[in-house]
Structure 1
Amino acid sequence: MISDQNQLSNQLNLQQQQGIKQFLTFMMADEEYGVDILTVQEIRSWEEITVLPNAPEFVKGVINLRGTIVPIIDLRLRFGLPSTDYGPLTVVIVVKIKFEQGSKIIGITVDAVSDVYSIAEQDAKAVPNISDSNNCEYVAGLVNVGEKMVALIDLQKTMNI
């Protein structure tokens, strides 16, 4: 078991030296998005939440996660996508995001978890600027994975509420 941990640690160190990051990908509105897997704390199935009055529409409420109150953000609404009913595949990805004033634990609801990809940083392409408004501010980059394109999310900008 110790050799398995050492092997995994060595593999992660080698990937970091080569500029390779792993991304957890998920689906929303038939598109695939990814977040740095090092920010992911856990993946939970949808559960009832406590609604907060006067919160922005995309803040669905909070849950109690082992004594920590975690805000739940509907990422579809945050991105301006049409809302959908939560179903059996709906999951909450609990992420820890570092900000200048410290780190925060936040849950984001997504339609379904997809996969984990190892992506070289140099493979990520910048988002083209197609208008005066910065409507792609939440996307850190785009990357081709096989025949599909994955949008890599900048969680700091997305969750800076």
Structure 2
Amino acid sequence: MTPAPTEVLLFTLNGQRYGLPAPDVRELVRAARLTPLPRAPAVVEGLLDLRGELLPVLDLRLRFRHPPRPLSPMDHFIVASAGDRCVVLRVDRAEGLRVLTPDEWDATPRQLPGVGYVAGAVKLKDGLVLVHDLRTFLSEAEALELDAALAAPQEPEPA
């Protein structure tokens, strides 16, 4: 059983609030142009070159069944750990860190069917916020497909 986080990073996507455990968050950066990654699973939007490190950007809109939207300069990128893998999440807005009190954390959603990558929920005065576990975000098949796509030689983009 995963211990309850003491802090979560709250973010919005398509008008809904979500969270990530703070220890999984490496940094926040402004949205930037992505490079397509051929043969990557559909949940990968592309690659972000972050100071020379190529990181896969996961498509939360696709995963959470929100309508697609083009990349905007107003979007935020959350650089986070998904187990041993570093990934980037494109979100509409990162709201900031929230220190949790014991009565705000609820681990029950993790035990409900169909909520695969949910670590739990934060009960706030203005509603429930699902907190996601990035270690389970990619299926095993998606992780293998992503590894193969990252290992494949990349063709240069046309000028």
TM-score range with shorter-chain normalisation? 0.7 to 0.9
Letter in 2 for 1:57: A
Distance 2:54 2:73 in 1: 23
State the match for 2:130 in structure 1.
Answer: 151
Distance 1:159 1:35 in 2: 15
State the match for 1:96 in structure 2.
Answer: 81
Pair 1:26–1:49, CA change in 2 (3 A): same
Instruction: Tell which structure's C-alpha radius of gyration is larger.
Output: 1
TM-score (norm 1): 0.74
* SS at 2:100 equivalent: strand
* SS at 1:53 equivalent: coil
State the match for 2:68 in structure 1.
Answer: 83
State the match for 1:33 in structure 2.
Answer: 18
State the match for 2:157 in structure 1.
Answer: none
**Superposition misfits of 4+ residues, deviation over 3 angstroms:** 120-123
State the match for 1:46 in structure 2.
Answer: 31
Deviation per CA, 1:51-96, whole angstroms, max 9, x where unpaired?
0113222211112222221111111112222212222331110012
* Conserved 8 A contact 1:20-1:120: no
Letter in 1 for 2:18: Y
Letter in 1 for 2:134: L
Distance 1:154 1:114 in 2: 18
State the match for 1:67 in structure 2.
Answer: 52
Once the two structures are TM-superposed, the CA of residue 122 in structure 1 deviates from its matched residue by 5.7
TM-score (norm 2): 0.75
Structure 2 residue ranges without an equivalent (≥5) = 143-159
Distance 1:27 1:139 in 2: 16
State the match for 2:86 in structure 1.
Answer: 105
Distance 2:118 2:98 in 1: 17
Q: 1:57 aligned to 2:42?
A: yes
Once the two structures are TM-superposed, the CA of residue 121 in structure 1 deviates from its matched residue by 5.2
Distance 1:105 1:151 in 2: 21
* SS at 1:76 equivalent: helix
Distance 1:20 1:72 in 2: 24
Once the two structures are TM-superposed, the CA of residue 104 in structure 1 deviates from its matched residue by 1.2
State the match for 2:148 in structure 1.
Answer: none
